[in-house]
Structure 1
Amino acid sequence: MRTDDLVGLLSTGIAPVKSGTVARRFGISVPVAVIGATALMVAVFGIRPDLSTIAKTAIFWEKLAFPLCLAIGALIATVRLARPGAKVGTGWPVMAVPVVIVWIAAIAVVISAAPQDRLPAILGHTWRTCPFNILLLAVPGFIAIFWAVKGLAPTRLRLAGAVSGLLASSIATVAYCFHCPEMNPAFWSIWYMAGMLLPAALGAVLGPKLLRW
């Protein structure tokens, strides 16, 4: 068989990929993650009663900006890794910068605190439950985002699964901020990060199985 005949045979029946598929799939999955996490937060935990007051403070918006910036970076990375052979690209610095900033703020808080106040600053009042609350709120987004990524033929399945889990958990953390009473960067730097890394680790484990196409 000649090369031209082989190419013709392989290309038979192939239809062009519809334009806008990536936008459509993430246009469905990301709102599902946001709505699902928010609805679960309201139903299971409830909105903090002093939200109208605390929303007037800069520290609340700084707390909200932390997972929101991570979600933006994770979205960039997830969209790229959903395509065959793509790299994370600019997703890495967008995800890394907020983590570095929060860790610098956390170190400053701990160093400046009195010795007896350092551990309470890190543990807060909810360290035992915070990561698992975020994990729960990430479930709708985890399912929806994995659905979106699988339909786009990723090839780096473990990494794609990890950033998909991080995207779901960072969105969940944004929703959780409207319930969580913790207002100290020393707390966020550990327990919010733990909550976001749990679904990321789960995604890395399940990615090769759930994202295979």
Structure 2
Amino acid sequence: MKTDDFIDFLAREPSPPPGRQIARRRFSLGILAGMGTSSLLMAALLGLRPDLAQVIHDPMFWVRMAFPIAIGVAALVVTVRLSRPGVRVGAGGWASVALPVIVAWALAAIVLAGAPEGQRGALMLGHTWKVCSTLIALLSLPSIVAVFWAVRGMAPVRLRLAGAAAGLLAGAMAATSYCLHCPEMAPPFWALWYLLGMVVAGALGALAGPRWLRW
């Protein structure tokens, strides 16, 4: 490169971060790809629960599914804001992530309070507590890749925090898919173990953020 060309290159103003329309497009593609891949992986490795056609008429099935969906929507808002330099998350953004957890734990507490003391441990552990969180974290991996692709193109500056939010979003997507397989319906179970799986995905995102989100 000639000296004059190099000076011209340095003098150029930096390109502005992508606008809202581009952000909407990137995140739409990332979420569709991540959710689709995680769902296909769940179906291939674990399979749909055999009584799914009957259990969808149970209101608790939808309450359980609403838990990761609500966390995912809140995490999406936070992730989008962290993806753009100069945009603050604000207390409301963080509160929206915590609210579904508080509601789920309150519901779990009500169920535990009304259950006989000898059954409370079973309500919390269920039959699959040893694998539930691990499976959600594993199912989140393709979603993490897809969401990271969307975030990286938006010029984030707080890479670890953006990675954690993106990982939590991916974990919520994986947990939503996992609902179609998981036989556990008790709120004390999914309020604990689903959340742990999503938090693990968020931790993976925080670890990968400084490396994978660098632009």
Please indicate, yes or no, whether the TM-score normalized by the shorter chain is above 0.5.
yes
Residue 94 of structure 1: CA displacement? 2.1
Change (3 A) 1:166 1:109: same
Q: Which residue of 1 aligns with 2:61?
A: 60
Partners of 2:13 and 2:98 lie apart in 1 by 44
Q: Does 1:75 align with 2:73?
A: no
Residue 34 of structure 1: CA displacement? 1.0
TM-score by length of 2: 0.90
Partners of 2:139 and 2:80 lie apart in 1 by 21
Change (3 A) 1:9 1:179: closer
**Structure 2 stretches of 5 or more lacking a match?**
1-7
Change (3 A) 1:9 1:39: closer
* Residues 125, 182 of structure 1: 8 Å contact kept: yes
Task: Report 1:129-208 matches (<5 A).
Answer: 129-208=131-210
Partners of 1:84 and 1:51 lie apart in 2 by 43
RMSD: 1.7
* Residues 74, 93 of structure 2: 8 Å contact kept: yes
* Residues 26, 148 of structure 1: 8 Å contact kept: yes
Partners of 1:86 and 1:14 lie apart in 2 by 18
TM-score by length of 1: 0.91
Partners of 1:97 and 1:138 lie apart in 2 by 22
Give the % identical residues.
Answer: 45
Partners of 1:140 and 1:110 lie apart in 2 by 35
The amino acid across from 2:205 in the alignment is G
* Residues 158, 207 of structure 1: 8 Å contact kept: yes
Partners of 1:16 and 1:157 lie apart in 2 by 18
**Counterpart of 2:184 in 1: which secondary structure?**
coil
**Counterpart of 1:75 in 2: which secondary structure?**
helix
**Structure 1 stretches of 5 or more lacking a match?**
1-7
Q: Which 10-residue stretch deviates more, 116-125 or 90-99?
A: 90-99
